[in-house]
Amino acid sequence: MKTGTKTITIEKIEGIPPRARILAVAADLFYRHGIRAVGVEAIAEAAGTNKMTLYRHFASKDELVAEYLRCLAEKANSSWEKWAARHPGDPRAQLRAWLKEMADHVESGSERGCALANAAVELPEKDHPARRVIEAFKNAQRNRITQLCAAADLAQPELLADELFLLLEGARVTAQSMGRTGLGERLIRMGEAMIAAHQK
Amino acid sequence: MKTGTKTITIEKIEGIPPRARILAVAADLFYRHGIRAVGVEAIAEAAGTNKMTLYRHFASKDELVAEYLRCLAEKANSSWEKWAARHPGDPRAQLRAWLKEMADHVESGSERGCALANAAVELPEKDHPARRVIEAFKNAQRNRITQLCAAADLAQPELLADELFLLLEGARVTAQSMGRTGLGERLIRMGEAMIAAHQK
DNA sequence: TTACATAGGTACTGACCGGTAACACCTATG
DNA sequence: CATAGGTGTTACCGGTCAGTACCTATGTAA
């Protein structure tokens, strides 16, 4: 069984402090190869530093993983804020922006599913520090969509929100194990059809 | 980072030959703890045998994984056959049987997602023997549903099939990282709503 | 100058990994 | 009884894993 990652990707050593370099590299490697498949040594090396420095910034690999997921959750949050600012008072447009982004994502060749969901698959131990992050994020995501569906004055907002949420979640998993040509476009058609079906 | 599994689960040593015992134990451990988290030694031990015997039946851990997934795919196939026999000439009832099974599954406490999809998350190497199994299965599954939607004389069968397929796929991933109380029932409502929306 | 914090480097620990060699055993068939 | 094939046992291989001890270099602020 092959494991580990020998990808030497010395990152821009520029002014960026080690902690940020480590996080950036870890995010890339964890996502592409899986969390359990990537060793801390490989991360440190790819970040142009060493294991000791990594352990000065993160208490353990598990904590590094949790921080990696926390960063992603934050990034998703700021995406929502961006869409809210771009379409103020127009929840339906915000939903569409989300749908569009996911569709693009899913069709991009580098799609490997939702990093948070993948982490949940790889780390079933219910006391893992990453699980709190994952559960909080997924619940927040679902609540946000439900709220937007309600604000958009669509019928049965909770049910519609679940439909959309699960549809996109499913698309992201499936993209890893099936052809995804045209999936993005189909995804938008499906999402729009669901929204239309809940028009009052 | 905790790894390995010390769960000692000496399986019924009855007349069952070692190969079958190994496969049964591997299926349980792989699903519950993840593929990379379970070592061959732990599998052999839990199956009441040893590593040598395991390697006499499986060329490598990767092959054991592939065989594990192959068995699951076969089991799913026979489920479809069962439903076809139970509801001959009634594709809609067959779809409903599938929906019902997935809904029950998702709400059961032991749900950890689709084992095939999870394996795709854990094994991104595109030349892994398991990937062929996964891709073949997912494509077959999607084709089957599309065919049933068409046979049920529903509008836009390909699109509806994708909606249902992705919805259930999403539900299974999400069940790992979110509360699932009532998810089964909601799932059926969503599926039925989608089918109804495609009524001609 | 001194003092301190941050970082790099090397080498190590102890445990586990997948996989193999060699040999003893047991049982079924001839 | 003899033989052969499947099985159990133990010990081992080379490699990797997460995590740590210890020492050096550098930069900065007093």
CA distance A104 to A187: 10
Give the pLDDT mean for B62-84.
98
Task: Please state, in angstroms and rounded to a whole number, the distance separating the CA atoms of residues B64 and B70.
Answer: 10
Instruction: Find residues 70-99 of chain B whose CB sits inside 8 Å of chain A.
Output: none
Q: Please state, rounded to an integer, the average pLDDT across all residues of chain A.
A: 93
The pLDDT assigned to A17 comes to 86
Percent of chain B whose pLDDT exceeds 90? 87
Q: How far apart are CA A128 and CA A47, in angstroms?
A: 25
| A149 shares contact with chain B (CB less than 8 Å) | no
Quick: pLDDT tens for A2-51.
554 444 454 444 568 889 999 999 999 999 999 999 999 999 999 999 99
Over range A65-94, report the average pLDDT: 98
Which residue from B minimizes the CA distance to A142?
Answer: B178
Per-residue pLDDT at B18: 85
| pLDDT attached to residue A18 | 85
Q: According to the model, what pLDDT value does residue B179 have?
A: 79
Output the pLDDT for position B168.
98
Q: Tell me which residue in A120, A189, A197 faces B177 most closely, judged by beta carbons.
A: A120
Query: What is the pLDDT averaged over residues A167-178?
Result: 95
pLDDT digits (tens, 9 = 90+) for B139-158: 999 999 999 999 999 999 99
Averaged over B122-133, what is the pLDDT?
96
Instruction: Say if the Cβ atoms of B122 and A60 lie within 8 Å.
Output: no
Residue by residue, DSSP assigns A124-160 as --TT-HHHHHHHHHHHHHHHHHHHHHHHTT-SSHHHH
Q: Residue B180 is encoded by which pair of tokens? A: 């699932």
DSSP B40: H
Q: Which of A2-11, B64-73, B161-170, B178-187 has the lowest mean pLDDT?
A: A2-11
Residue where the block lists tokens 């991933």: B173
pLDDT band at B111 (very low <50, low <70, confident <90, very high): very high
As a whole number, mean pLDDT of residues B98-112 equals 95
Residues A139 and A136: their CA atoms lie apart, in Å, by 5
Q: What is the pLDDT of residue A14?
A: 56
Confidence of residue B86 (pLDDT cuts 50, 70, 90): very high
Average pLDDT over residues B86-98: 98
Residue-level pLDDT at A200: 86
- Spell B117-128 as b/e; 16+ CB within 10 A means b: bbbbbbbbeeeb
Q: Which of A36, A118, A169 is opposite residue B170, by nearest beta carbon? A: A169
What was the pLDDT predicted at B180? 86
The percentage of chain A sitting over the pLDDT mark of 90, rounded to a whole number, equals: 87
pLDDT at A122 over 90: yes
Q: What residues of chain B lie within 8 A of the CB of A186, using their CB?
A: 159, 162
pLDDT exceeds 60 at position B39: yes
pTM of this prediction?
Answer: 0.93
Please choose, from the candidates B114, B121, B120, the residue with its C-alpha nearest in 3D space to the C-alpha of residue B134: B120
Residue B70 pLDDT greater than 70, yes or no: yes
* A138–chain B Cβ distance below 8 A for any pair: yes
Please tell me if residue A103 touches chain B, with a CB cutoff of 8 Å: no
First to last CA, chain B: 55
pLDDT at B9 over 90: no
Which among B3, B23, B9 has a CA at the least distance from the CA of B63?
B23
Q: Is B173 on the interface with A (CB under 8 A)?
A: yes
Residues of A in contact with B33 (CB under 8 A): 124
**What pLDDT, on a 0 to 100 scale, did the predictor assign at position B12?**
47
